[in-house]
A and B are shown apart, each in its own frame.
Chain A
Amino acid sequence: MTAETTPARAGQPNQGRPSPSRARRGKLLRHAVGVAAFLLVWELAARAGLLPWLPAASASLARVAELAFDPAFAGDLLSTLTAAAAGLPLAVLVAVPIGLLLGTVPAVEETTRAIVEFLRPIPSVALIPLALFFFQPEINAKVALIVYAASWPILINTLYGVRDVDPVATETLRSFGFGSAAVIWRVSLPSAAPFIYTGIRLAASITLILAISVEYFVGGSGGIGAFLIQASTGIGADAMLDVIATLVWAGLVGLAVNVLLLRAERRLFRWRHA
C-alpha cells in the first residue's frame, strides 16, 4: 500500500539503500568472482602438477563445450533427463496423496510409521538390483527407482506441511459448513503447498542422482551414467577429461533445474514472504 503512495521507491535508486537490481548485480558479481577463483586455483594446481591426474580447467571446460556437440553424449544426456523428467511427476502423484492421508489421519500415520522409518534410511541406490529384477526393460527399473527415491522428500514434506496447517484456518472453513474433503482440498493442500514444493525441489536433484546411478550400474544402455563408464574405461588424460566434463554437465543441469524451480517458487508463493 505504501509502495503505491511513495513514488521515490519506484524510480531512481534512493540514497543509502541500493536498488533491488543493483543488489542483485552485486550478488551475481560475487558468485562470478567465486567461480573464477575456483577455476584459477584449479588451473594453477593442474599446471603446477600438484595433482598429476587432473586435467587443467581450461582443457576441461573446452571439453565441456565439445561434448555439447557430440551426438553420443547429447543422446545420453537426453535419455538421463527424460527418465528424471518422467519420474518426478509420477513421484508427485504418488507421494502427495499419501502425504495428505498420513498428515490428516493420525491413525494411519501411526500405523505406518514403523514401516516408513524403516524404509526411509535405506539408500535407494542399494535397491538397484531389486529394481532391475522386478522391472524390465531397464528404463522401467530406472524410472521406478527414481519415483521411489523422489517420493520420500515429497511425502515427508507433504506430511509436515499438512500438520502445520493453522487450525483456525481449517475451523473457519468448517464453520461455514464445509466437509472434510473440502477442507483438505481448499485449506490443507494450498496451505501445505510451499512445503510440498520444497519437497519437489529436493526430489528433483534426487531424480538426477538416481538416473545416473542406475545407468552407471547397468552400463551399456544409455544415459550419462553409461557415458561415464565408457569414458572411464578409456585410458590416459583423454578419459579423465571426459569424466570431468560429464560431471560438469551433471552439475550444470542440476544447477539450472534448481534455479528455475527456485524462481518459480518465489513467484508461486509470494504470499508466504510477507
Chain B
Amino acid sequence: MTILRIPTPLRPYTNGKNEVNVSGANISEALNDLTNQFPNIKPHLFNEGGELRPFVNIFIGENNIKDLQGVDTPVKDGERLMLIPSIAGGMHVA
C-alpha cells in the first residue's frame, strides 16, 4: 500500500480526498488502482490512447518518474507518490 497525494485541482475527482491509498508493484499499477477507485480522474491523467498526459508529473519520493523508469518505475510499500499538475494561476483576470 502506498499513499498518493492529490493536488487541489484534482481533488474534485477523488471525492475531495487529499491522499488516496493505492496498491501496485509499479506506477502503472498504482495509477490503475487509482482510476479504478475514482474513474472520473482518468481523463485528467490519461489521453484517449491511455498514455499519461505530458503535463501530468508523478513523483515517487523526491524524484520524477520521468527521471526513473516512467510508469514502469517500481513502487515499494510505504513510498510516497505525488501528482503534480500544471496550474496557471497567479495574477487575476476578471
Are A and B a genuine interacting pair, yes or no?
no
**Which residue numbers of B lie inside 8 Å of A, CB to CB?**
none
